[in-house]
Amino acid sequence: MFHGSIVALLTPFKGGKVDETAFQSFVEWQVAQGTHGLVPCGTTGESPTLSHEEHNRVVELCIEAAGGKVPVMAGTGSNSTEEAIALTRHAKQAGAQAALVVTPYYNKPSQEGLYQHFKAIHDAADLPIFIYNIPGRSVVDMSVATMARLAKLPNIVGVKDATADLSRPSRLLQEVGPDFIQLSGEDATALAFNAQGGVGCISVTANVAPALCSAMQTAWAKGDLKEAFRLRDVLSPLHDSMFVETSPAPVKFAASLLGLGSDEVRLPLVPATETARAAVRGAMTKAGLLS
């Protein structure tokens, strides 16, 4: 169900509040542009600064706007196991097809702690779960051995790998086989990840270039490597610009240039600087997104 270009949705704000109208319009645009899947309330959606009520509401809005046309993988992770269980149960009730659960940040659990955290969520919420392994933000790195152990649980179905270690998908593939869904969390190396055993990317860049990201993944899946590599090269400068400063400030500015919402972020994040804005404008123009 989850493959290809899956967008890590930004959460538009207006006057400090979630802009529900802009968000649903944005989701509808993503679907129309060919995005293969939707992830609300991930890192790009500024989930750490959403209240529980806002978090649940954003998931509901996304599922409603998607209208069953593409699957929704709701971000439901937390460094509190009980909180992650509650968010995952809500995602199930709201109609999400899966949950994306980040490795617990700040607590620095051991590998056994990671296993027990995910097992507790698995046992408490009847919903397919993707492990979100992003040591650059959560500090801890789930080992291949721990992930393989978790993959034996029936509802632990895949991973969003943001380790930037391109040997990881191949090693995990040897341990768990091809049915475990491996998705990249790094736009710049998405095709290389596929070559190592992945089947798609949960993408930041797809917020502003959904058609290009979708076309690249589709070309790869069809074996049209020439077209996939061409699109990779078109997108490469854009990927770089999305992370010239802390995400999602650059991508929110990029979205604002396309009329897809404001560039407003919540503290402790701040809007993109003029230097970052110039880099984003230049990359978007080069990719043909701006004239």
Catalytic residue positions? 132, 160
Q: Hey, what are 184's tokens?
A: 């990249």
Q: Which residues are annotated as a binding site for pyruvate?
A: 44, 202
132 Cβ contact partners less than 8 Å away, ≥ 6 residues apart: 42, 75, 77, 100, 101, 102, 103, 159, 160, 162, 185
Residues 112/143, Cβ–Cβ less than 8 Å: no
Closest CA to 13 of 264, 275, 271: 264
Which alpha helices (H) appear in 223-273, and where do they start and end? 225-242, 249-257
Q: Which of 38, 37, 6, 9 is nearest to 23 (CA)?
A: 9
Q: Say if residues 43 and 77 touch (Cβ distance below 8 Å).
A: no
Spacing of C-alpha 55 from chain mean position: 15
Please give the Cα distance from 37 to 177 (Å, whole number).
23
| Sheet-wide strand order for 129-133 | 37-39, 4-8, 200-203, 181-184, 156-161, 129-133, 98-102, 73-75
Helix (H, G, I), strand (E, B) or coil at 177: coil
Q: For 7, phi and psi rounded to 5 degrees?
A: -90, 130
Handedness of CA 31, 33, 36, 42 (dihedral sign): negative
Provide the angle, in degrees to the nearest 10, between the axes of the packed helices 52-66 and 20-32: 40
Enumerate the known binding-site residues: 44, 202
Report the candidate in 282, 229, 232, 287 with the shortest Cα–Cα distance to residue 253. 282
